Chains A and B, each alone.
Chain A
Amino acid sequence: DQQVKQNSPSLSVQEGRISILNCDYTNSMFDYFLWYKKYPAEGPTFLISISSIKDKNEDGRFTVFLNKSAKHLSLHIVPSQPGDSAVYFCAASVSNTGKLIFGQGTTLQVKP
């Protein structure tokens, strides 16, 4: 039972345009959501998070949107840069449990 799903295995965008990565979840108890970026042979790097009391959080070029009623979150990267090319994972947790439940990842390719 996949509680966190990233339905697009890959995404290709042109440099300078917006990248939108999507994530859906099924467990309504999740109240903390994160996005990680991963390069080959490296561990995931934390990008941005959002708690369920908010619907938007912004950090530089990265913005995460949360739609609780739809159980959907998205990561917007604007403008996209070639260095953003990596695998992006969304993750969710229930407060005080510690453990993160990850999606399968979306490979983003930003073309120069």
Chain B
Amino acid sequence: GAGVSQSPSNKVTEKGKDVELRCDPISGHTALYWYRQSLGQGLEFLIYFQGNSAPDKSGLPSDRFSAERTGGSVSTLTIQRTQQEDSAVYLCASSHDRDEPQHFGDGTRLSIL
């Protein structure tokens, strides 16, 4: 596809369950980012992948959060033992290189009951 694709678009789950969110970046983009937006807030950086380098995980809020990027393309963000405060829109972005504009997907709206 032409843009960043994220799935699912919506996810409702019970507290304590694990969730996996998927991101398909724009083809050829070497950099991939995850952000989240809580209600009424700006976007909060979570993690950043650049090529084959070790990811920058400095924004992950707890060890319940992890992310992988396989084959330099698709990425999954995993949240284990979800809590209600994890409810947010999770946004993925990619860029051709790290100092170029980031292009965002439409996000996954995660609701923890």
Residues of A within 8 A of B (CB): 4, 6, 32, 34, 36, 41-46, 49, 89, 91, 93, 95-105
Instruction: Give the chain A neighbours of B50 by CB distance below 8 A.
Output: 98
* B11-39 vs A, Cβ < 8 Å mask (1 yes, 0 no): 00000000000000000000101010000
Query: Are B106 and A41 interface neighbours, CB within 8 A?
Result: yes
Contact indicator B45/A101 (Cβ below 8 Å): yes
Number of residue pairs A-B, CB distance < 8 angstroms: 60
Q: In the complex, A101→B33 CA distance in Å?
A: 12
B102 at interface, CB cutoff 8 A: yes
Contact (Cβ within 8 A) B33 A99: yes
Minimum C-beta distance from A59 to chain B (A): 12
Would you mind naming 7 contact pairs between A and B with Cβ atoms under 8 Å apart?
A: A4-B42, A97-B56, A98-B31, A99-B45, A99-B48, A100-B33, A104-B40
A40 to chain B, nearest CB (A): 11
| Contact across chains for A98 and B91 when beta carbons are under 8 A apart | no
Q: Known pairs A98-B98, A100-B43; list 17 more (Cβ under 8 Å).
A: A6-B42, A34-B102, A36-B104, A41-B106, A43-B91, A43-B93, A44-B104, A46-B103, A91-B43, A96-B98, A97-B98, A98-B50, A99-B33, A99-B58, A99-B59, A100-B102, A105-B42
Instruction: Give chain B residues whose Cβ lies under 8 Å from the Cβ of A95.
Output: 99
Chain A residue nearest to B32 (CB atoms) is A98
Contact (A102, B101) CB under 8 Å given A43-B106, A43-B107, A44-B91: no
- Closest A residue to B55 by beta carbon equals A98
Distance to closest chain B CB from A97 (angstroms):
7
**Nearest Cβ on chain A to B56's Cβ, whole angstroms:** 6
State the Cβ distance, B83 to closest chain A Cβ, in Å.
23
Q: Is the CB of B104 within 8 A of A98?
A: no
Task: Name A102's contact: one of B4, B31, B43 (CB within 8 Å).
Answer: B43
Chain A residues positioned under 8 Å from B31 (CB to CB): 98
Residues of A within 8 A of B43 (CB): 44, 89, 91, 100, 102
